[in-house]
Copies of this chain bind each other. A is one copy, B any other.
Amino acid sequence: MATSETPIKVLLVGTGALGSIYGWRLDVSGKAQVTAVCRSNYEAVKSSGFYISSLAFGDEVYRPHRVVRTVDEAVADGEVYDFVIVCTKALPNLVDNSDIIAPAVQNPHTIIMLIQNGIGIEDPYAARYPNNPIASTIAYLDSSQPSNGTIKHGIVTMLDMGLFSPKTASYDTSAVSARVAALSEVWKESGVPAMVSEDIQKSRWAKLIWNASFNTVSVVSGGNDSRQMLDSPECKALIHSLMTEVIKAGETITGSKLVYLGNQATADDIINTTDGLPKPVTPSMLMDFRAKRPMEHAVILRNPIELAKKHGVDVPHLETVYALLTMVEARYLSQPKL
């Protein structure tokens, strides 16, 4: 186990615009060592590292402590990882990625940290690794990867993490919480605001308010940024209705008021905050749509809708957008990429 002398051993799976930034901030601290699993970008990262241009942290070439092609390669020398951090997209409707990390998951030592959006992302991991703690984590991050190995970052990096289902855990939750807190401290020392939440599902639902509305509508409305969406009164009303459904479902399911960026979550406040941003936001789903990549609609819409209905909350606007989004995606995924 990591002490203050031994660095925390981290295996990073998913080294896109999100994983590379958080891996970087761990490695630069000197208190954690990141082994990065690079699949499509292995050659570029192995030879040249990530070129990161960050408003918050400056421009730097980030060479991870170690770069490997596969998880098997990462454990071939017997290395034991304290954390496996998964930063891939959550696409449970297409692929169950939970098996990929299996060679690196020591039972019960390894903490599986999932930095992903949406609801229900932990389920495949909890089913496959019942004795391992899962640190469910949400990122607020404005980064993109304009080309392979080149990362652009703005100023936001906030992380919000917490144990998944601590009440039914088979492990010593206070010991695990201390290890998660220690990792969050490493991030904080290198400039990443990282907080530990007791009820991370509340945070997930709170973040979903924006993701299930602006994100999804940007695509099904034909490809619009936040400014274009808010300029249409009908679209603004729709976003309000979607947010209201998410808030109602989330509060019913978690049993308490949702809090978004420090304040009680209301649709009006979140819309007004978005409206007041200096630049229009291009939601991540819209970027996926434009690049003809799969969208995270299963964890952003399907799972929340199913949970809401199970708890007796009607979510007709969410259902409508979900049906349309899956149709839109099916069309472009079936077409050849240009």
Interface residues of A (CB under 8 A from B): 217, 220-224, 228-229, 232, 234-235, 237-238, 241, 316-317, 319-324, 326-328, 330-332
Q: Report the bound CA distance from A191 to B229 in whole Å.
A: 49
Report chain B residues within 8 Å CB of A327: 221-222, 224, 228-229, 232, 234-235
Roughly how many angstroms separate A316 CA and B242 CA in the complex, as a whole number?
A: 10
**Chain B residue, CB-CB nearest to A237:** B323
Using Cβ atoms and an 8 Å threshold, which residues of chain B touch A228? 327
- Show 7 A/B contacts (Cβ-Cβ < 8 Å), sorted by A: A222-B328, A224-B327, A228-B327, A235-B326, A238-B324, A316-B320, A317-B319
**Leading 9 A-B pairs by shortest Cβ distance:** A221-B327, A238-B323, A316-B316, A234-B323, A222-B328, A320-B320, A222-B331, A317-B320, A235-B323
> Which of B237, B238, B321, B323 interacts with A232 by CB under 8 Å?
B323
Contact at A319–B237, with CB atoms within 8 Å? yes
User: CB < 8 Å: which of B232, B235, B324, B330 contacts A220?
Assistant: B324
Q: Is the CB of B241 within 8 A of A326?
A: no
**How near does chain B come to A249, taking the closest CB pair, in angstroms?**
14
B322 touches A222 (CB 8 A): no
Contacts of A222 in B (CB 8 A): 324, 327-328, 331-332
Q: How far is the CA of A327 from the CA of B228 in the complex (A)?
A: 9
Distance from A229 Cβ to chain B, minimum over Cβ atoms (Å): 7
Which residues of chain B are within 8 angstroms of A317 by Cβ–Cβ distance?
316-317, 319-320
Question: A220 — nearest CB in chain B belongs to which residue?
Answer: B324
B321 touches A320 (CB 8 A): yes
Measured in the bound complex, the distance between the Cα atoms of B322 and A61 in whole Å is 48
Given contact pairs A222-B324, A222-B331, A237-B323, a sample of 17 additional A-B residue pairs in the complex whose CB atoms are under 8 Å apart: A220-B220, A220-B324, A221-B328, A222-B327, A222-B328, A222-B332, A224-B331, A228-B327, A232-B323, A235-B323, A235-B324, A237-B319, A238-B320, A238-B323, A316-B316, A317-B317, A317-B319
Chain B residue numbers with a CB within 8 Å of A234 are 319, 322-323, 326-327
Q: Which residue of B lies closest to A320 (CB)?
A: B320
CA distance A322 to B233 in the complex (A): 11
Closest B residue by C-beta to A224 = B327
User: Within the assembled complex, what's the spacing in Å between the Cα atoms of A151 and B322?
Assistant: 38
A60 to chain B, nearest CB (A): 39
In the complex, the chain B residue whose C-beta lies closest to that of A239 is B323
Closest B-chain residue to A289, C-beta based? Answer: B222
User: What's the Cα separation between A319 and B222 when bound, in Å?
Assistant: 16
Q: Are A217 and B324 in contact (CB under 8 A)?
A: yes
Closest partner residue, chain B, to A328 (CB atom): B222
A232 and B326 form a contact (CB under 8 A): yes
A115 to B303, CA, bound (A): 45
Q: Which residue of B lies closest to A302 (CB)?
A: B234
What separation, in Å, do the CA atoms of A235 and B323 have in the docked complex?
A: 5
Q: How far is the CB of A277 from chain B (nearest CB, A)?
A: 20
Complex formed: what's the CA distance from A246 to B322 in Å?
20
CA distance A122 to B327 in the complex (A): 35
CA distance A327 to B223 in the complex (A): 9
